Amino acid sequence: MSERSVPRAVVVLLGTAAGMISLFGLREVASILGPVVLALVLVIAVSPVRAWLGRKGMPGWLQVALPFLIVVLVLLSMVAILTVSVTQLATLLPTYARQFQDLIHEAQRLAAGFGIGNEQLNKALQSFDPGKILALAQGLLSSLLGVLSSLFLIVVLLLAMCLDAPITSRIIAAGHSERPGMVAALSTFATKTRRYLIVSTVFGIICAALDVGALYLLSVPLPLLWGVLALITNYIPNIGFILGLIPPAILALLDSGPKQMILVIIAYCAINVVIQSSIQPKFLGDAVGLSTTMTFLSLIVWAFVLGPLGALLAIPLSLLTRALLIDSDPSAKWAAALISGEMPAETAEKPGKPSAAPAPAPSSDKK
């Protein structure tokens, strides 16, 4: 007597429904989940430092303290630079009120030249009020205060995870005999995440330094702020470069006109094409293990769930999801190949096994 299996359509529908419920549930606790995931990713990033100290025979407290201090100093430095720069931006923007009005009048004149001069267009153009831009800058300052309030939670989580990292590593290693698939998947997740973070950080710093130099030569205000923004947006897949380009390009337009804005766009595009599109992929290789489509979808999904922090952590979160749901299941190799865009190794012709449609070999000697 054979058991009747559940129809594939029912499994897909139930899985989709469970996934949607899980995503909306995670969205409700985004204020907690975001710092937790960020702390986890940062601990994974500095884990080689702890391993190196362990191989050198350093005491346990130093293996915890040094990686923790490295991460905290990096976070505090970035927050300090952003706070000072955004404060300067809020002071600088009101001085461009006349330039805003000139741009509005020029846009109205160009629109009238193309026969577009209706009242709705004029209202839309005049809605670009410098006061709104100032309010936006003040909103950025408020959001920075929110980051500072979350920073305490992130630091506490970092300390707790750094303290638990050695015992957690031993527990995971001890479970290899019972759950080899899960242990291997988590190890692969940590390795790929660490490689992605290291490569993205190194090339992000290079791009940011070149961007700052280009903006300094072009006399664009606040080049350090836009350099830090370029470094942060380097972790956002697909659209990070555009997000990092828009603010300095607009500021160059207000400060020196369209020609300066075009030069900023050209400089950013040249740096991005050479560094991020040509050199960085050669070092990153297949560390991410996600196709272009899946990378873009992960950006949309995690930005929806966790907001801006989800956009920054889209790749690590997708790697963690893949490790827990796909890589740990030996029967889901086809799904891993689907999201990575790579042909599974099992499809290659195995030694001693005939292919699906072998071609008849001509006989060289006939009797």
d(CA 270, CA 54): 43
Say how far residue 298 (Cα) sits from the centre of its chain: 10
d(CA 247, CA 64): 39
| Number of C-beta neighbours around residue 26 at 10 A | 19
Going by pLDDT thresholds of 50, 70 and 90, the confidence category of residue 185 is confident
**How far apart, in Å, are the Cα atoms of 208 and each of 58, 76, 242?**
35, 18, 14
Q: At what angle do helices 119-126 and 97-113 cross, to 10 degrees?
A: 160
Per-residue pLDDT averaged across 170-199, rounded?
83
With pLDDT > 70 as the criterion, what percentage of the chain qualifies? 76
d(CA 300, CA 23): 12
pLDDT at site 212? 92
- Which single residue is written with the structure tokens 């000697």? 365
Which pLDDT tens digit goes with each residue over 18-49?
888 888 888 888 888 888 888 888 888 888 88
Reading the block at residue 4, the tokens are 């009747």
Per-residue pLDDT averaged across 305-319, rounded?
87
d(CA 296, CA 301): 9
pLDDT at site 112? 66
Closest CA to 232 of 207, 250, 214: 207
The winner for highest mean pLDDT among 96-105, 155-164, 188-197, 209-218 is: 209-218
d(CA 165, CA 228): 30
Q: What is the DSSP letter of 278?
A: I
Q: What is the DSSP letter of 358?
A: P
**Amino acid found at 245:** L
Which phi and psi angles does 328 have, rounded to 5°? -80, -10
Closest CA to 54 of 64, 45, 63: 63
Going by pLDDT thresholds of 50, 70 and 90, the confidence category of residue 266 is very high
- Domain-by-domain residue ranges, the chain? 29-119+126-174, 178-342
Lowest mean pLDDT among 52-66, 108-122, 166-180: 108-122
Which pLDDT tens digit goes with each residue over 146-159?
555 677 788 888 88
Which phi and psi angles does 117 have, rounded to 5°? -135, 30
**Amino acid found at 70:** I
Q: What is the DSSP letter of 354?
A: -
d(CA 232, CA 313): 11
**How far apart, in Å, are the Cα atoms of 35 and each of 42, 88, 308, 352?**
10, 28, 12, 52
pTM: 0.76
pLDDT at site 210? 92
Please say whether the beta carbons of 131 and 80 come within 8 A.
Answer: no
